Amino acid sequence: MTIDEIRDNFELLDEWDDRYRYVIELGRTLDPMPEAEHSAENKVNGCVSQVWLSRQIDRGGNGEPRLKYLGDSDAHIVRGLIAILLTLYSGRTPQQILSTDALAVFDEFGFREHLTPQRSNGLRSMVERIRSDARESLAAAS
C-alpha cells in the first residue's frame, strides 16, 4: 500500500469513527514483529502505549543504505499510526527519510485535531526515532 492509497481512502471517509476504524485496520496489516524484537533497545520512549520499532539496514545493489522497519504496539490505534509511518519511511534511504515530513502528512489527514496530546507526543517520538536512525546512518556512511 502507498501513502497515496491511504490518502485516497481517508478522503472517502467523512466520519472520524470510520477513519479510526480504517487506521485500526491498517494496524492489522503490519508484519508481525518477533518477540525478541520487543526489546528495551527497540522501545520508543515518550509514548503512553508500549511501542517498538526495530530497524534493519539493507544495502541495495548500489550499496546505498535503506532503512527497513518492523513496528508494534499494545494499542490498536497506535499500530495503525505505525502502519502509516512505515508506509512513509520503511525501505527508504536516509536522505528520503529526512526529506519526508511525516507530521505534515498526519496533519493533512486531520490527526492533529483528533489525537490526544499524549498520542500526538508519542507520534512525534516515533518520527524522531526514525529520523535519528537516518541521521546515524548518514553519519556512519561518511
| Span 93-135, pLDDT tens digits | 999 999 999 999 999 999 988 998 999 999 999 999 999 999 9
Catalytic residue among 6, 23, 44, 47: 47
DSSP for 45-96, please give it: TT-SS-EEEEEEEEE-TT--EEEEEEEEESSHHHHHHHHHHHHHHTTB-HHH
User: How many structural domains comprise the chain?
Assistant: 1
Contact call for residues 71 and 82 (beta carbons, < 8 A): yes
Supply 19's cell numbers: 477513519
pTM over 0.75: yes
Percentage helix, strand, coil for the chain under 3-state DSSP, each rounded to 5? 55, 15, 30
Our answer to whether residue 131 is catalytic in this structure is no
Q: What is the residue range of 58's domain? A: 3-141
pLDDT band, residue 59 (cuts 50/70/90): confident
pLDDT tens for residues 19-48?
999 999 999 999 999 999 999 999 999 888
CATH for 8:
3.90.1010.10
